[in-house]
């Protein structure tokens, strides 16, 4: 289950998620969110294994409102006893009292968007915190008894050096988080960053340099006890994100809030559907005031589309179980690609163990291309 909280103190230059700067009052938005929870009919037999507050900056929400949302969810849905409940946060919005409030409200996993431990890089990205706030946020989270803390980092920034990235990684490791997400900067369309690139004010780093950053990331984190379980995600044993893995393993999920997406697959009928909400707070609220679900669009996914997605997501993460893959999509599936799989094995881009096809560290860099070739 995913809740999109679209408010930010200031929008970062690289972000293309739906969000708006500033908020006068959460009351109207929260009323709409609770109305959506009421209107959505829980699928029969659904048990929620993870719940994720994303954004935007969900840590702008008062802890009392987070508690109300969780209480409302529990009234309508069954949550597993060990459900992972994550809140994304910005260090500039956290203090000891706020963190204790979130912990007491039911949040048991904290994801802190640090992005860099270099002041000039934080300024370039438009972050509202500085390095000292980032360090303090992680330490305060531990003081608030969060036993599952993740931090987000971004590399391959324009003008960033391998040495500055190494310093950020080592600073992160020194803080001893349970999980680290390290993303390569992507220039998304219609963002301030894309306009800076288009006008020549910013020059992205070459692909070869990005690959060196990736190699350094994998090496440093592996040597510090972090397992790479997806292209950009690293965890200590036992701390892989349940929520993230749900997406990569094509499990069902339901999203609430403006722009939130949902996916539901019925294995009995072999059908799957994806739908998404209106990406505008005002229109989202207006639809719910009329007791209408705020769905902007939907699609029924063909077996071929599901097959391509399953392969792509699997190669990016824990691998593709070929026995299950063929059971779901036909015994003939990938039969024509046996020579290509042999080539990928020879080139150390994938491994094949107990019927599971997995990308190697080198293969992670090429998983998009490999997926395209295997499904051509």
Find the CATH number of the domain harbouring 310: 1.10.10.920
| Domain end call among 247, 271, 286 | 247
| 46 & 172 share domain | yes
| 110 & 235 share domain | yes
Tell me the average confidence (pLDDT) per consecutive run of 10 residues in the chain, 376 residues long: 95 92 85 97 91 96 97 96 97 96 98 97 95 98 98 96 97 98 94 95 94 96 96 97 93 96 84 95 96 97 89 92 86 82 94 92 90 84
Phi, psi of 13 (to 5 degrees): -70, -20
| Domain end call among 179, 212, 247 | 247
| 168 & 28 share domain | yes
| 83 & 220 share domain | yes
| 212 & 356 share domain | no
| Distance of alpha carbon 93 from the chain centroid | 20
| Distance of alpha carbon 290 from the chain centroid | 32
Whole-number Å distance between alpha carbons of 363 and 316: 9
Whole-number Å distance between alpha carbons of 100 and 144: 5
Residue 128 burial (C-beta neighbours within 10 Å; 0-12, 13-18, 19+): middle
Please give the C-alpha separations between residue 45 and each of 144, 261, 285, 313, in angstroms, as whole numbers.
Answer: 35, 20, 29, 25
Whole-number Å distance between alpha carbons of 87 and 107: 7
Start-to-end CA span in the chain (Å): 33
Do residues 240 and 196 make contact, with C-beta atoms less than 8 angstroms apart? no
290 within a domain of the structure (yes/no) = no
3-state DSSP of 220-270: HHHCCCCEEEECCEEECCCCCCHHHHHHHCCCCECEECCCCEEEEEECCCC
| 201 & 329 share domain | no
pLDDT for the residue 314: 94
284 within a domain of the structure (yes/no) = no
Number of domains in the chain: 2
CATH number of the domain that residue 18 is part of: 3.20.20.70
| Residue 299: strand pairing partners | 274
| 18 & 95 share domain | yes
| 65 & 206 share domain | yes
287 within a domain of the structure (yes/no) = no
| 107 & 20 share domain | yes
Q: Is the pTM of this model over 0.75?
A: yes
138 within a domain of the structure (yes/no) = yes
Determine the structural domain holding residue 24 and report its residue range. Answer: 2-247
| 243 & 316 share domain | no
117 within a domain of the structure (yes/no) = yes
| 323 & 243 share domain | no
272 within a domain of the structure (yes/no) = no
291 within a domain of the structure (yes/no) = no
360 within a domain of the structure (yes/no) = yes
| 170 & 83 share domain | yes
pLDDT for the residue 331: 74
| Domain end call among 225, 247, 269 | 247
């Amino acid at each position: 289950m995913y809740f999109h909280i679209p408010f930010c103190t200031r929008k970062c230059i690289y972000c293309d998620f739906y969000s708006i700067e500033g908020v006068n009052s959460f009351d109207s938005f929260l009323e709409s969110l609770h109305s959506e929870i009421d209107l959505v009919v829980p699928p029969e037999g659904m048990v929620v294994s993870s719940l994720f507050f994303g954004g935007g900056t969900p840590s702008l929400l008062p802890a009392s409102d987070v508690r109300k949302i969780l209480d409302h969810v529990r009234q309508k849905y069954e949550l597993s006893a060990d459900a992972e409940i994550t809140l994304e946060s910005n260090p500039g919005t956290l203090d000891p009292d706020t963190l204790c409030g979130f912990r007491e409200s039911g949040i048991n996993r904290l994801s802190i968007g640090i992005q860099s431990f270099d002041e000039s890089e934080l300024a370039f990205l438009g972050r509202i915190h500085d390095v000292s706030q980032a360090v303090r946020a992680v330490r305060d989270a531990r003081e608030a008894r969060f036993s599952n803390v993740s931090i987000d980092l971004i590399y391959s920034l324009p003008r960033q050096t391998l040495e500055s990235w190494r310093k950020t990684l080592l600073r992160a490791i020194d803080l001893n988080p349970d999980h680290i997400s390290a993303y390569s900067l992507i220039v998304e369309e219609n963002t301030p960053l894309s306009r800076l690139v288009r006008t020549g004010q910013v020059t992205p780093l070459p692909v070869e340099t990005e690959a060196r950053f990736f190699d350094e990331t994998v090496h440093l984190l592996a040597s510090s006890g972090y397992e790479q379980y997806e292209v950009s995600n690293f965890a200590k044993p036992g701390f892989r994100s349940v929520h993230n893995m749900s997406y990569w393993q094509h499990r069902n999920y339901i999203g609430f809030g403006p722009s939130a997406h949902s996916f539901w697959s019925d294995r009995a009928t072999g059908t799957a559907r994806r739908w998404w909400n209106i990406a505008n707070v005002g229109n989202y609220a207006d639809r719910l005031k009329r007791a209408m679900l705020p769905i902007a669009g939907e699609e029924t996914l063909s077996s071929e589309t599901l097959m391509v997605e399953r392969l792509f997501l699997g190669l990016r993460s824990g691998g593709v179980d070929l026995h299950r893959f063929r059971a779901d999509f036909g015994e003939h599936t990938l039969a024509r690609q046996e020579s290509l799989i042999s080539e990928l094995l020879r080139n150390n881009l994938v491994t094949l163990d107990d019927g599971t096809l997995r990308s190697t560290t080198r293969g992670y860099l090429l998983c998009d291309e490999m997926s395209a070739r295997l499904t051509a």
